Amino acid sequence: MTQDQKCTLNIQSETGKLEAVLLHYPGAEVENMTPRHAQRALYSDILNLSIARKEYDQLLGVLQKTSRVYEVSSLLTGVLEKEDLKERLLRKICEAEYVPGYLDFLMEQPAPLLSKILIEGLPLQVNTLTDFLREEYYALKPLYNFYFTRDSAAVIGNHALICKMANNVRLRESLIMEAIFGSGLYFHTGVTNTYDLSDNNPQVKIEGGDILVIREDILLIGNGTRTTTQGIDLLVQEFCKTGAGKKHVIVQQLPESPESFIHLDMVFTMLDTDKAMIYKPLIMSSSPYQTVHMQIENGKVTRISSASGILNLLRKLGIDPEPVICGGKADDWDQEREQWHSGANFLALAPGKVLSYARNIHTLEELNKNGFEIVTANEVIRDQFDIHAAGKCVITIEGSELPRGGGGPRCMTMPLRREITVYP
């Protein structure tokens, strides 16, 4: 790839037309688990890979119609073809996962096979009594969650942020992302590595599902089980260094349970410049979970104060999103059930053009009442629906297996570049 072909990263909003996106097609790693290991893999259930792939093909097909799609496995293979980059990545992985004895074996593998091993897992070589008696099959565990590319890295402005994952089972995802973005092979970008910045401080945790870039000067961040206050402080410190003038960080506290509240984008996502999908009990109703406003001026935090909710604070900052209720307005049970199945988790392909699961029928009905046309992914893929000429619309993908991993279309996509959004 030449310098001219490289993609310059640029994310200044959640809804600007999506021009480039990073995905990971789910593979054998998803099936390389048993029910006994599902909880360790951060799953509530095991997936049927063949069905999950059919559903994922709909997501991929729509994105290929609308954006430039990069695939993790392909990019990783390219990195591993460079001997110096290969050795650097493998040394980091072997050190972080306490398997230094496997370095020579891994270095001998050709790049395509090594890429598969690093994602799908490496079985343990039983050479000692200690290994024989361990209740473990893998030396390098499969990356069960990697099809949720949103979490291990995030693009803020022109920088790729390498996220410090809350669970060690996902550490290698971040190491791979660092290798891809730091290689200089594919993207024009700066790289900010939160592992290095934090000196691996265990209290620092931050994941991309908790980071929403609302506007160039506004970050919205969730504070819950996957993103700690220490992680947010580190991110704010870096955000202070970019640009000049006034900036704002909005922090929304999240409950520790149920597990469907894992990230902020499970309860709040932007649909358009003037509409947001929300889980009402947390975002609009009174709750013990604070919204905090951090104001930045000339590279310093100048004020931290409580706010009366995300929506009210955004209005004060010049953005007035009308809330659309996940699960519909009528029934609390519908809201709870559909939030559980990622009913608030939307990916905007362009302002007012979003991706969702088809299963959340009450949420879709509510969107239809708000002027969104409901179409299927297959209609877009088969050119039966022109998304470019359409107005507000929701493109639905089937979702019986994919949601079992704990996320929706936003979770499964890492936007790399969007057009600049003009707010009304």
Domain assignment present for 260? yes
pLDDT at 42 over 50: no
As a whole number, the mean pLDDT across the chain is 91
Lowest mean pLDDT: which of 5-19, 40-54, 106-120, 361-375? 40-54
Domain assignment present for 423? no
pLDDT at 18 over 90: yes
Exposed, middle or buried by CB within 10 Å (0-12, 13-18, 19+), for 301? Answer: middle
Contact residues for 95 (Cβ-Cβ < 8 A; gap 6+): none
**What pLDDT does residue 420 have?**
85
**Rounded to the nearest 5°, which phi and psi values hold at 159?**
-115, 145
Domain assignment present for 126? yes
Alpha-carbon distances of 176 from 70, 97, 224, 314, 423, rounded to whole Å: 14, 13, 25, 35, 35
Confidence band, pLDDT 50/70/90 cuts, at residue 2 = low
Domain assignment present for 124? yes
Using CA atoms, how far apart are residues 339 and 334, in angstroms rounded to an integer? 8
Tokens for 74, please give them: 């392909």
Cis bond leading into 258, ω under 30°? yes
Beta bridge partners of 275: 272, 322
Q: Are strands 68-71 and 18-23 parallel, antiparallel or unpaired?
A: parallel
**What pLDDT does residue 45 have?**
57
**What pLDDT does residue 241 have?**
85
- pLDDT tens figures, 45-89: 567 888 999 999 999 999 999 999 999 999 999 999 999 999 999
pLDDT at 405 over 60: yes
Residue 264 near residue 291, CB atoms below 8 Å: no
Domain assignment present for 424? no
Q: Which domain holds residue 38?
A: 3-418
The H or E element that residue 79 is part of is helix 72-80
Domain assignment present for 305? yes
**What pLDDT does residue 32 have?**
67
pLDDT at 224 over 90: yes
Residue 297 near residue 288, CB atoms below 8 Å: no
pLDDT at 172 over 70: yes
Tokens 């931050």 sit at which residue?
Answer: 206
Number of domains in the chain: 1
Domain assignment present for 327? yes
Domain assignment present for 154? yes
CATH of residue 290's domain is 3.75.10.10
**What pLDDT does residue 406 have?**
77
pLDDT at 41 over 50: no
